[in-house]
Structure 1
Amino acid sequence: MRQVELTGKTADQTKSEILTDVTTDTARENSGALNNVFEKVKVQKEIDVQVQVTKKLGKNASKAVADYANSQSMKLRAQDQEAAA
């Protein structure tokens, strides 16, 4: 009686609305769970490549910065010598 007052439906009506065809045999298929497709070896290879590239970039970048700084320094020294002469 109280069920009808609260919801406007009998317990059987409510039960029939939530009844599904999912059973314990089909629950896993209908659960919506994600499949684990993480490829550890593939990801590790990609990370290894990125590490190597980063190391080489670090070496090349520091040399490039040093070369640029030296060339700028030489230009400024030349300008200073010209101004002094």
Structure 2
Amino acid sequence: MSAGRGWIVIVALIAGNWKPRGVLMAVTAFAFLEALATHLQVLGAHVPRQLLLALPYLASIALLMGVRFRTGQPARLGMSYARE
């Protein structure tokens, strides 16, 4: 039912560093990419339809790789703090 948008929400939370302003910027960027893909399909761009549909997901992978190298996230999601 969500058409894979749950993945994009998780990436937006990680990219936005769990802060409302950062998450809003990330979600806006993903919405822009999805609207761009739809708009290019309507215009009849000579780009494969599947590539246009994958554009937000490819951007999320690229963004997640950049965030991963910069902050170490999302590896920290699974870490529990050991009590000494």
Normalised TM-score (structure 2): 0.31
Structure with larger RCO (C-alpha < 8 A, sep 6+): 2
- Structure showing greater Rg: 1
